[in-house]
Amino acid sequence: MQDSDSKNIAFEVNPMMVLFSHEVGGSYAVLETFSAVVGIPAMHLKTYQRHDKKVTAAEVEAGSAMLTLLLLSMPVGAEKEYAGQRRLNVRAEEARDGNVYGGGEH
C-alpha cells in the first residue's frame, strides 16, 4: 500500500470515528481512549472538531428528514388524534394516582 493510499483511508475513517464517538455518547476523550486500546494513533483535536461539525450537521439533517417523512406518512388529522390520546393517558394516570380532576381532591 502506498503512503497516499493510507492517507486517503485515514481521511475516510475520520468521519466514521467521529460518528462512532457520537453513537457511544462520547467525545474526543472517548475517541482517544478507543484509539489507544486498538493501537492506532488518535486524530488531532482540531481534526475531530472539524469532522464533529460535519457529522453533527448530517445527523441533524437526517433526523429532520426522518421527522418530515414520518409526518408526511401520517394520515390527515392523526397528529390531533395523538394529542387527544396523550390527554387521555394523562387523565388515566391522574385517576390512578387519585387526582381525578387534575387539581387535587374535590
pLDDT tens, N- to C-terminus, the chain (106 residues): 444 555 566 677 888 889 888 888 888 999 999 999 999 888 999 999 999 999 888 888 888 888 887 777 777 666 566 666 666 666 666 666 665 554 544 4
pLDDT value of residue 1? 40
- pTM as predicted: 0.52
- Burial-class residue 32 by CB neighbours within 10 Å (0-12, 13-18, 19+): middle
37-72 in b/e burial notation, b at 16+ Cβ within 10 A?
eeeeebbeeebbeebbeebeeeeeeeeeeeeeeeee
CA–CA gap between residue 69 and residue 36 (Å, rounded): 40
Q: 55 with 19: CB under 8 angstroms?
A: yes
Q: Going by C-beta distance under 8 Å and a sequence separation of 6 or more, which residues neighbour residue 63?
A: none
